[in-house]
Amino acid sequence: MPEQTSPQATSGTIQAIFSLPVIVAALGYFVDIYDLVLFSIVRVPSLKALGLSGKDLVDQGVFLLNMQMVGMLLGGILWGVLGDRKGRLKIMFGSIFLYSMANFANGFVDSISAYATLRFIAGIGLAGELGAGITLVSEVLHKTVRGYGTMIVASVGVSGAILANFIAKHFDWRNAFIIGGILGLCLLALRFGVVESGMFSSMKVQDQVSKGNFLSLFTSRDRFGRFLHAILIGLPSWFVVGVLITFSPEFAKLLGVTGVISAGNAVMYCYLGLVAGDLASGILSQLLQSRKKVVLLFLIITAVAVVIYFMAGGVSAEAFYGICGLLGFGIGYWAIFVTIAAEQFGTNLRATVATSVPNFVRGMTVPITMLFLYFRNHFGLQQGAIMVGCLTMAIALFSLWRLEETFHKDLDYFEEFL
């Protein structure tokens, strides 16, 4: 039976939802997403300013994006381990400082080598903020309302993509990077008012407890299963972003959409949908008192949106952007997805998992897009995308079935390593 909470306790905990740790984590993720998507938005003008043209705009653009992605994969492991060993607060502000400085410096690059180095450094920094923020919020809020806290973090955070699109349209690409860096550095002024998680503080003094042991995720079938399935439920989100949204101009042309479709606008409408989806999924998880039911519902919404996407033959550009927004809404279980990952593991491994899981999912964009290109070459653009979409959806549903429900789970415990 779910634990009963008195109205007075619940009221006090609801007030804590808007406490400084939640606000700082939300604003940190906001700047994180701003910086994460900014390169994709300013890729062409920035590379042209460095003297590139034609095929080099794509080739060097992919190279720089891959440098950022490699940095994020490495950073996901690094920050996660440090989060369990040194504290959630330290890595949250450490990651903000690193990606802010890298993006500020990115506004002054004059060569591809410098650009690539800073994208790699920024990627390492960008990998840490979300996992640290979600872990901190999950541990400082009461379990009956922590879903609201993580909902606020994700909802505010993904709206950073909207600001990035706005800034990129009204400012030079160099100034857009500099603004992102300044925004992050301004957040550091709030670090003095945020307190560390009590669960981590209690664990810190226990020397006999193994903390941040990343390799332990692979030495136990149970832990590896929880880790793997936590990653795989996020696959459909990056199928949507990495395939349907990224290649939206090509799909729109194939489907006969009237008007010109801009990938930048498709990204913006998708992220608008994501904001609404994160809000809705967070509220629903609290009302239904379940994480798994909400993820299942949003996976179904995503599947329906994908069907509508491929049936959009001859629609207007406005209608097509609306469908992009619906796709974004469907994958708006991102807050719940990261929360589930954090809730699957004990305090001594929680930051490691919560930080590495979303970055591993982002890294899955590479095999997803490679598989899409393979199927496209053999079955065509539309059929190839449908096949990849069905595969990612099936894997996500199976992994969701394998994970335990964690809504009422008490997080104050340790993982035991034998």
Q: Is the pLDDT of residue 1 over 70?
A: no
The reply to whether 249 and 349 lie within a common domain is: yes
User: Are the C-beta atoms of residues 337 and 247 closer than 8 Å to each other?
Assistant: no
> Residues 81-99: pLDDT tens digits?
888 888 888 888 888 899 9
Tokens encoding 81: 């381990």
pLDDT score, position 7: 43
Tell me the backbone φ, ψ of residue 316, rounded to 5 degrees.
Answer: -75, 165
> In this structure, is residue 115 part of a structural domain?
yes
pTM of the model: 0.81
pLDDT band at 16 (very low <50, low <70, confident <90, very high): low
Name which of 54-58, 303-307, 378-382 the model is least confident about.
54-58
pLDDT tens digits for range 114-147: 999 999 999 999 888 888 888 888 888 877 778 8
Q: Which of 136, 108, 120 is nearest to 50 (CA)?
A: 108
d(CA 118, CA 120): 5
The verdict on 232 and 188 lying in the same domain is no
So what's the pLDDT on residue 88?
A: 80
Above 60 in pLDDT, residue 13?
no
β-strand partners of 309 = none
* Dist. CA 214–CA 31, nearest whole Å: 27
> What range does the domain containing 305 cover?
214-406+414-418
Separation of alpha carbons 25 and 141, rounded Å: 13
How many CA atoms are closer than 13 Å to the CA of 189, on its beta-carbon side?
5
Whether 120 and 67 have beta carbons less than 8 Å apart is answered as: yes
Closest Cα to residue 337, out of 216, 211, 239, 236? 236
Residues 244 and 130 in one domain: no
- Tell me whether residue 392 is in a domain: yes
Tell me what the pLDDT averaged over the chain comes to.
85
Mean per-residue pLDDT for 99-104? 93
Three-state secondary structure call for residue 418 = coil
β-pair partners for 316? 258
- One domain for residues 175 and 272: no
d(CA 281, CA 291): 9
Non-local (6+) Cβ contacts of 54 within 8 A are: none
Of 133, 161, 192, which marks where a domain is finished?
A: 192
Supply 91's token pair.
């890595």
* pLDDT over 60 (residue 4): no
Question: Per-residue pLDDT for 351 more than 50?
Answer: yes
Residues 187, 301, single domain; the answer is no
Percent of the chain at pLDDT above 70? 91
Confidence grade of residue 156 (pLDDT, cut at 50, 70, 90): confident
Cα gap 126→71, rounded to integer Å: 9
Q: Are residues 350 and 318 in the same domain?
A: yes
Indicate the pLDDT class of residue 311, thresholds 50, 70 and 90. very high
The mean per-residue pLDDT over the stretch 382-400 comes to 94
Query: Do 186 and 286 belong together in one domain?
Result: no
Does residue 402 lie in a domain region?
yes
Residue labelled with tokens 């955070």: 157
Whether the per-residue pLDDT at 6 is higher than 60: the answer is: no
Give me the pLDDT at residue 363, please: 79
Range in 260-264, 316-320, 340-344 with the lowest mean pLDDT? 260-264
CB atoms within 10 A of CB 22: 25
pLDDT at residue 9 tops 50: no
Buried b (16+ CB within 10 A) or exposed e, 95-134: bbbbbbbbbbbbbebeebeebbbbbbbbbbbbbbbbbbbb
If asked whether residues 180 and 222 sit together in one domain, one would say no
Residue 6 lies in a domain: no
**Sign (positive or negative) of CA dihedral 370, 299, 253, 245:** negative
CB atoms within 10 A of CB 174: 16
Please report which confidence band the pLDDT of residue 334 belongs to, taking 50, 70 and 90 as the band edges: confident
CATH number at residue 280: 1.20.1250.20
pLDDT digits (tens, 9 = 90+) for 213-272: 888 889 899 999 999 999 999 999 989 988 888 788 888 988 999 888 887 788 889 988
Residues 378 and 233 reside in one and the same domain:
yes
Q: Measure the CA–CA gap between 255 and 381, rounded to whole angstroms.
A: 11
Residue 114 lies in a domain: yes
Is 96 part of any domain?
yes
pLDDT tens track for 161-219? 888 888 988 899 999 999 999 998 888 877 666 666 666 667 665 666 677 788 888 98
What is the per-residue pLDDT for 231?
A: 94
| Same structural domain, 165 and 260 | no
| pLDDT tens figures, 47-90 | 889 988 877 776 787 788 788 888 888 998 999 888 888 888 88
Whether the predicted pLDDT of 11 surpasses 50: no
Confidence of residue 398 (pLDDT cuts 50, 70, 90): very high
> Looking at residues 17-35, what average pLDDT do you find?
84
Question: 142 and 236, same structural domain?
Answer: no
Please tell me whether residues 171 and 225 are part of one structural domain. Answer: no
CB count within 10 Å of CB 24 equals 24
Whether residue 7 lies inside any domain: the answer is no
Q: What per-residue confidence (pLDDT) applies to 18?
A: 74
Amino acid residing at 114: A
End position of a domain, from candidates 159, 192, 225: 192
Q: Residue 312's closest CA among 370, 266, 268, 272?
A: 266
pLDDT at 2 > cutoff 80: no
Domain total of the chain = 2
Between 42 and 113, the higher pLDDT residue? 113
CA 134 vs CA 201, 299, 345: distances in Å: 17, 22, 13
> Domain for residue 1, yes or no?
no
